[in-house]
Structure 1
């Protein structure tokens, strides 16, 4: 049995989707380079957002802002690529959360920068509070986006992409929860919290990048038509004429 052809993706949508393809590799490359070159910073222990602290913190702030804006454009591209309503909306929430994470800088965690406490008993101010506050809906939105996209592909019999999207949501959420336990200084996670967070981040950005490449090429697959597997249009009920002839036709069809 065949599968339904994909809906075509227009040039404006492909341009917007390219922004999402660029955002992931850019964000990952930036924090990897920053983390490897900062004195006292341990990628195994410290969160990516802590790179926004210190004299060179502006580089990670810029990373949040640029990649957040690129992902906002990507969300619009997903909408134009027959992405429905919820998937682009949820990806857009993730994008806005990234921008706000760049606007509001968090508190030091796990002793970085040097001389700071492992965990502050309370927030140092409103920016630090808002940094953590915007992260929650952003992370939740991306998790739900993975599930929404998984369902969308499954309904169109693209089971490989459905399974990959669902697995992304699971790995992303699990890694984030465990990393947060470490940032709260709970054993045995504290010494691996940075690695766990990076696992979540790389998993999410890889999925978004590959999704962007897939949608640039073919868009979302069209709904499956069980009456004709090669026809991408949904099956339609026959339209019967009005009047006695229509009534007789309807009776005959029953």
Structure 2
């Protein structure tokens, strides 16, 4: 039981650690504007290894969380879909760390605003999009689980997180495509989306931790 709770705790700390790391990096990186540039761009340049490590650590913690969900007495989302989707999100974070994104919106300084696609950048986007999609679907899988358990408030919160996550990701994607009205706010919109997604995962992890304590003999 102790190892199970450690695995679930990994899901609770993954989001806050990831967020604190990229906030610290963004505040100290020369030429980087957190309101304009994406989190992934922190992996570019001389100190880019710090954000690469951030992706890898967050992904590893998320995979540990998915394993804990699988072993939990009442796995959220059923015996397969909840842990599987969270596992895909974790793998997406690791893939985003292994493959660096392409420069966008003028960072690093001297690079063009519009994306110039490379193989590494395409792989980064593919892993990121797969992870985002899995996390979005997970929100609605949990919505169904909470409804079946009779918890309408939790179900509504989970569904709202999924919808808000989609909307914010769409807006940030439009900003990074150089939409004139949004481009200067792309980083802020993406950070809001990531905060919603990671905050939702932290909430679910804490909920499962409480469940395992209740079930413990």
Normalising by the smaller structure, the TM-score range is: over 0.9
Deviation at 1:12, TM superposition (A): 2.6
Contact 1:175/1:197 (8 A) holds in 2: yes
Deviation at 1:13, TM superposition (A): 1.8
2:47 paired with 1:56: yes
Partner of 1:212: 205
Partner of 1:80: 71
2:101 paired with 1:106: yes
Contact 1:45/1:193 (8 A) holds in 2: yes
Q: Supply the distance in 2 between the matched residues of 1:205 and 1:107 (Cα, whole angstroms).
A: 23
Partner of 1:68: 59
**Counterparts of residues 11-26 of structure 1 (less than 5 Å):** 11-26=2-17
Q: Supply the distance in 2 between the matched residues of 1:162 and 1:78 (Cα, whole angstroms).
A: 18
SS of 2:65's partner is helix
Partner of 1:184: 177
Partner of 1:32: 23
Deviation at 1:77, TM superposition (A): 1.0
Q: Supply the distance in 2 between the matched residues of 1:15 and 1:221 (Cα, whole angstroms).
A: 16
Partner of 1:145: 138
- In structure 2, the CA distance between the partners of 1:163 and 1:219, relative to structure 1 (3 Å rule), is farther
Contact 2:5/2:212 (8 A) holds in 1: no
Deviation at 1:80, TM superposition (A): 1.7
Partner of 1:234: none
Contact 1:49/1:60 (8 A) holds in 2: yes
TM-score, length-scaled by structure 1: 0.80
Unpaired segments of 5 or more residues in structure 2?
Answer: none
- In structure 2, the CA distance between the partners of 1:221 and 1:130, relative to structure 1 (3 Å rule), is farther
Partner of 2:91: 96
Contact 1:156/1:221 (8 A) holds in 2: no
Partner of 1:248: none
Q: Supply the distance in 1 between the matched residues of 2:213 and 2:191 (Cα, whole angstroms).
A: 29
Partner of 2:33: 42
In proportion to residue count, which structure has more helix?
A: 2
Q: Supply the distance in 2 between the matched residues of 1:126 and 1:208 (Cα, whole angstroms).
A: 30
Partner of 1:127: 120
Q: CA RMSD in A?
A: 1.5
Deviation at 1:221, TM superposition (A): 10
Runs of 4+ in structure 1 deviating by more than 6 angstroms, as ranges, are: none
Q: Supply the distance in 2 between the matched residues of 1:180 and 1:109 (Cα, whole angstroms).
A: 11
